[in-house]
Each structure stands twice: as structure tokens, then as C-alpha cells.
Amino acid sequence: MKIMILADASSPHTIRWANALSELHINVLVVSLTPFYNDNYNQNIQLHSLSKDIKLSQNKGISEKISYFKLLKPVKKLIKSFKPDILHAYYASSYGFIGALSRFKPFVISVWGSDVFEFPKLGFLQKKILKYNLKAANTIFATSEALAAETKLYTNTSIHILPFGINLEKFFPVDQNYEFFTIGTVKGMRDIYGITDLIKSFALAQNLAPEIPWKLLLVGDGPNIDEYKNLVKSLNIDDKTQFTGYVNHNETPYYYNQMNVFVALSRSESFGVAVLEAQACGVPVIVSNVGGLPEVVDDQNTGFIIDRNNHQKAAQLFVKLATDKLIYTSLSQKAVEFVKLYYDWKDSVQQQYNFYKELITNYYK
């Protein structure tokens, strides 16, 4: 089997999928718009950066998408030489457009979030482009029911739910002697991920139970990090807060295992990989009732689902988990079991492989 993947080769999700598929003895070619580091990929995976072929528009928006027409020749050349059984685009609004323009069949698109939740709302042409891309696909993969429902607003193409599974050999509980009761998150430091709500909720918890040795751990980098640093200072919690800055994905298990509670009070989220990674490490979670987040938490059993801006509720739950060891232990154990049962990475990869086989069989018979 030969799969040509159109995707951001620097994305950890692309790297995970490509490596996993190659380990199933699939011949994989990853074609990226941007440069990348080959060291992250298995040696037998072929890699190509389109930035070597064509200089694209640096302006974001429609002009950038129009410049993709310049890529048709090098992409078709790669298709002709590689001879894939399937062309698979990760992300519908960019790589999906390149794949749709190539007109290769069978063609698969994986929708990942902002390509469906945000891109078509930018304007009439963006909406038309997304519809064009999705119509060109033989099959669409979505990571959650919420993302699939949103995608259905723009297409009649069949959609399969294929979640990002968790590598349980990498994400697992590590016994710790906690000096602090640590509330944390592993997210981009951006408003969409509700970091402000987390910080305010943490400050409230400290006021509710000042005797608890609290710590706030914010793992990640992003455009709003200075704003958040100023906020923790204004709330007088800067001495209890740690900003790590950018952290390589391979290092995240260490940080999850530093946490007692993982929090994702996002304003929008298509799935919730980090939420599952935290649970796989035995960390109870608190998430907002938006997008695909409720799908990756067993409410009251592995964590809690609340309204995003209910700081008081979040703070009360922080205190409850810090003071009720029986409930905390139960949530921690069930979180690990939940991920093992429903979100094992090996199961996700096998599902992907089975979908490929079925698509090839149906298309070429």
C-alpha cells in the first residue's frame, strides 16, 4: 500500500501518523508546504517540501490560496512518480485545497478543527473553497462527533470518526511525592484555549483555601503569554505560577506527571488530545462544555465538564480535589482505564489502516 500525505511535516500529529503507518509496512510519502526536520521520521518515509519548488504568497487569506495553483505541477509530478494508492490531506482548508486541485482519486481529507470551525466563517470565498475541497474527497475523517457535525454543514461526503489515540507506552502515571497541589495545562498560550479563565479560577481557589500549597503550571508558548504573565502578577499569584515556555511534545509526559489536575477551559476545541494525554497519566481533568471536549471526558468519573467562564465552579472543584483524597484517587484510576478502553493509539492506527483497505477495495474493484 502506498499513501501520499499532504500535511504540515513539522506537526507532531503528522509525524505520529506517518511513522505509525510506515510501521505497518505502508509506503509513505509526506509532502509539506514548509521545511521540516527529517530526524523526526522513520528512515523509510519519503519527504518532500514544496517550498523548494515554488515560492508561495506570504499574505494570509485568499491570495495565499490562489497561489496554491502554482503547486499543481510539482504535486502532479510527485503523484506520477510515487503512484500512490490514496492521496490523504491533513487539514481541509490548505492541504485539502491542494489535494482537491490535483483531482487525484481516491482522495481523503482529515479535518482537524479550525479548518472547519473558523476558515469558512472568514468570508464567502473561504466557504466556497472548503465546500469544493470536501466535495472532492471520497472520504472525510473527523476526530470527534462535534467536528463531524460541523463538517456536515458544508458537505454530503461520508464522514468517519477517527480520534487521535494516545500512545500508552509514552503517557502513563508516574508515582510522585508532590510538594504542591498543582493545577496545570499543556496548551498554546492563546485566548481560544481559555488560559485567562484558568488563571482567574486558580486565584479564586487560592482565596477559598489558602492553607493548600497551590501551584499553577502553564506549559506552552504563544502570542498572549506576556498578557498572562501580567495577569498573574495583578492577581498576586506570580509566586505560585510557573510558565515553561515552549516544550517539545516528547517532553510533555514529564509535565503531565507534575500535575494533580489538568484544566482545559477552551472557548473552542475540536477534540482534546492533551486532555486524553493527561488522563492517560492518571491526572483528573476539568474541561469546558465546548466542541469535542465533552467527548473525551467521562463526567464525574474521570473529571468534570463545566461552563468555560464559571470561575467559581472551577475553583470549588480545585479545592474539592485537593481535599478529598478518596474522590481524587477514584478519578485518577478511572481516567487511565478510560483512555485504555477507548483511545489507545494502536486501535486508532488499526482503524485508519482498515479504512484505507476498504477504500482501495471499493474504489478499484
At 65-81, the pLDDT tens digits run: 777 788 889 999 999 99
Query: Do residues 156 and 188 share a domain?
Result: no
Query: Do residues 149 and 12 share a domain?
Result: yes
Q: How many CB atoms lie within 10 A of CB 232?
A: 21
Query: Does any domain span residue 171?
Result: no
At 155-198, the pLDDT tens digits run: 999 999 998 899 999 999 998 778 899 999 999 999 999 999 99
Residues 6 or more apart whose Cβ sits within 8 Å of residue 320: 327
Query: Do residues 360 and 327 share a domain?
Result: no
What are the DSSP calls for 319-362, one per residue? HHHHH-HHHHHHHHHHHHHHHHHH-BHHHHHHHHHHHHHHHHHH
Query: Does any domain span residue 80?
Result: yes
Say what the pLDDT of residue 61 is. Answer: 63
Q: How many CB atoms lie within 10 A of CB 274?
A: 23
| Averaged pLDDT for residues 138-163 | 93
* Residue carrying C-alpha cell 509496512: 25
How many domains are contained in the chain? 2
Query: Do residues 119 and 253 share a domain?
Result: no
Q: How many CB atoms lie within 10 A of CB 213?
A: 11
Residue 195 near residue 202 (C-beta atoms within 8 A): no
Say what the pLDDT of residue 32 is. Answer: 93
Say what the pLDDT of residue 351 is. Answer: 92
Query: Do residues 77 and 154 share a domain?
Result: yes
Query: Does any domain span residue 173?
Result: no
Query: Do residues 338 and 358 share a domain?
Result: no
Query: Do residues 275 and 143 share a domain?
Result: no
Residue 302 near residue 284 (C-beta atoms within 8 A): yes
Query: Does any domain span residue 119?
Result: yes
Query: Do residues 351 and 220 share a domain?
Result: no
Query: pLDDT averaged over the chain?
Result: 92
Query: Do residues 11 and 61 share a domain?
Result: yes
Say what the pLDDT of residue 63 is. Answer: 65
Query: Do residues 207 and 156 share a domain?
Result: no
Whether residue 106 is preceded by a cis peptide bond, meaning omega within 30 degrees of 0, is yes
pTM: 0.84
**Residue 59 pLDDT exceeds 60:** no
Say what the pLDDT of residue 227 is. Answer: 96
Can you give the residue range of the structural domain that contains 234? 181-342
Query: Do residues 132 and 210 share a domain?
Result: no
| Averaged pLDDT for residues 339-345 | 94
Say what the pLDDT of residue 55 is. Answer: 66
Query: Does any domain span residue 175?
Result: no
Looking at residue 150, its amino acid is: E
Pick from 12-21, 32-41, 109-118, 143-152: least confident: 32-41
Can you give the three-state secondary structure of 80-137, one letter per residue?
HHHCCCEEEEECCCCHHHHHHHHCCCCEEEEECCHHHHCHHHHCHHHHHHHHHHHHHC
Residue 242 belongs to domain with CATH number: 3.40.50.2000
Query: Do residues 249 and 359 share a domain?
Result: no
Alpha-carbon dihedral sign for residues 301, 307, 311, 312 = negative
